Structure 1
């Protein structure tokens, strides 16, 4: 009897899935040993007061609460600390038992949010440019992403000049629209939405009875006069908002992969139903260490925030690095867009006097070609702006920028500076 050839095909929902930009360009950066200002992670030491807590835990193998399964929806100490922090930040009582779900990073919280609430054909409004996992995750859940592309003036120099066309947003809403996703502070632009903009989104959500997924992982990465307004703190928005946070971003420990979703019971219950049948519980020792770090930070933050790590040290450090990269880019011939928050900066590369030339008839997008050339030929890794748009038409209109991450150690920035100095020679 002849064996039957193996010819099974994957489920339809994943057939169009392609490797993400992070997989492709991280591999390229590694291959060419490039200075990496592309992927968004700090490459300097994690805060000692955070890692010391994990060190203490490791010294006590007898602690069941530290090394065995913990509560499925979040370690009791971590949800207690998150409840304290976000009750204060939202000015809304956050119940540690019912209003918080600890997840494997913010990615997981987003995935749960879409899969728990989106039915086949439901539409989700995304403000673009947008982090590149939103649209694929929405599609995996059976939903339809609807892109609202922000406007930006020719020659603009500040991220605040990215503006949402709210009339277009409202006119794009149909009877199938179920959700709006907002990322604030915004990746990749560095925009920090102001109160008036957020209230307009709140009005639309209220008018059309929409759920809001507020991806706020860079909530503590604001400096100077720029103030973070959390969406769930707006009048009437707690009851319709799933807020997404990240310990990896808060404490610069992205490899720990801990995040959370916060919201009212009726919004979180479906997420918990998926979670309990997916991973059940996140890593116990890292949850406990993050809880202890939050507890230690709270002692200063709620009394003298400017003296704390999150309210003082982190914003000051980010602003110094932002200024350094911006100066480097200007001197190299880029036209940077100054961010208001986060740790990313866009820059127009099209007027650089370099050896890079777009090949006519080449099907690859210009910013992808430039990014690969910069990595291969100059050993500097960045991210193409078009990676943050879902539709090809929108990509074609936005090929003049690349994204830099400036939250890097001084040695990395200095190495990038040496490369940039040679770009126009």
Structure 2
């Protein structure tokens, strides 16, 4: 690839909403409910496993298998094989990566070629768009839209099957699914997944399924892996995260799971970029999954305790938002809650750069005047659709009790 072509590909995607608003939050010493990580520690059993790994002698301080520490890929295969109802080969069907982020990067670099179209469901985690473009692909967007009669929960935001079908062409290579969705918190139900599945099979399209929040579902919402649907294992790359699974985002252990005829291409990108992931962190995550395999479905399971605790925090945040005139969209899953800000009459000054979205300006006002940091939701939309959703901001509720703060807002 020429340097000029590469420069054109990355032009306009160097800006990062996390850098901009995190710096602003730090400057104004704001309470930061923008970034998506918890402020509580991982469970004691994985912390102890990590300590044991780093104090356990020579081997765990050195390189392990480049595509995944053997104990980790073996338990991941055993654990998720039970969920999808098939045998998963630990050495061929799993790639361990530096967080889910690198798993996504390997996927796009390995599977998307120049001119390939990739369908992205909006709102979307913001890295999908630049990663597709860096691989030479073309982003095609289809938004979830709120039902006209109500918009109280993330379940009220739906895809139009006809609109989605219209986006599939002879150039479509893949569709990106994020369930539970960031930032909305939508958990796609079986019927919605079946619509996507049928279109993927009909058009021979790959499905890149980002499922990092798979254990965080509330009020009976059930996470279903699209790879478990008939005909989808052979065409799905499932992305997962130990950071979200065990509340240890700084450990940066992620994975991609799929058929070896797909995963072999991801391995090529991985071995020629980061090559290897930290051994001790993988060892600790392996112990965590082994413990959860044995406790699966029991009250002692962390995968049951964590969402129960977060559901309480979710409800508290919703009550706080309502108390100051914001309208929360109650999420079915994940770390995040969107809120409608249209009822708040903020005194936004007329400044240069008025072409930036209203929610961006509102969040800057919120940080500077109320010392509260959030993320504007238009950052999770394409340019063609962001103007249709100007009145939403995103909060992270995986935090401590901040109820006392809201009396000051």
TM-score band, normalised by shorter chain? over 0.9
Structure-2 residue corresponding to 1:4: none
Q: Does 1:305 align with 2:301?
A: no
User: Aligned partners of 2:107, 2:52: CA distance in 1, in Å?
Assistant: 34
Query: Which aligned pairs between 1:196-275 and structure 2 lie closer than 5 A?
Result: 196-275=191-270
SS in structure 1 of the partner of residue 328 of structure 2:
strand
Provide the rounded CA distance (Å) in 2 between the counterparts of 1:255 and 1:141: 27
Deviation of the 1:10 alpha carbon: 7.2
Once the two structures are superposed, residues 107-163 of structure 1 have per-residue CA deviations (whole angstroms, 9 ceiling, x without a partner) of 111111111111100000000010000011000000001000111135511110110
Aligned to 1:399: 390
- Aligned-partner SS, 2:176: strand
Match of 2:99 among 98, 105, 108: 105
Correspondence 1:18-417 to 2 at 5 A? 18-60=14-56, 62-64=57-59, 66-154=60-148, 156-301=151-296, 304-310=297-303, 312-353=304-345, 355-357=346-348, 359=350, 362-391=354-383, 393-410=384-401, 413-414=402-403, 417=404
Which deviates more from structure 2 when the two are superposed, residues 48-57 or residues 123-132?
A: 48-57
- Count residues with an aligned counterpart: 405
- Match of 2:185, SS? coil
C-alpha separation in 1, matches of 2:377 and 2:12: 21
Distance in 2 between the 1:164 and 1:51 partners? 40
Please, which runs of 5 or more residues in structure 1 have no aligned partner? 1-7
Asked if 2 retains the 8 angstrom alpha-carbon contact of 1:358 and 1:366, the reply is no
Q: Secondary structure at the match of 2:77?
A: helix
Following TM superposition, by how much is the alpha carbon of 1:421 offset from its aligned partner in structure 2, in angstroms?
2.2
The structure having more radius of gyration, on CA atoms, is 1
How far does the alpha carbon of each residue in 1:350-381 deviate from its partner, in whole angstroms, 9 at most, with x for none? 2125x533649822211000101111111100
Looking at structure 1, the residues matched to 349 and 157 of structure 2 have their Cα atoms a distance apart, in angstroms, of: 27
Tell me the SS of whatever aligns to 1:307.
Answer: coil
Q: Which residue of 2 aligns with 1:422?
A: 408
TM-score, structure 2 as length reference: 0.96
RMSD: 1.7
Structure 1 runs, 4 residues or longer, greater than 4 Å off: none
Distance in 1, Cα, partners of 2:275 & 2:5:
29
Is the 1:14–1:140 Cα contact (8 Å) retained in structure 2? yes
Three-state SS of the structure 2 residue aligned to 1:314 is: helix
- Select between 186-195 and 289-298 the one with higher mean Cα deviation: 289-298
- C-alpha separation in 1, matches of 2:94 and 2:190: 25
Which 5+ residue runs of structure 2 have no aligned equivalent?
none
Deviation at 1:63, TM superposition (A): 3.1
- The secondary structure found in structure 2 opposite 1:402 is strand
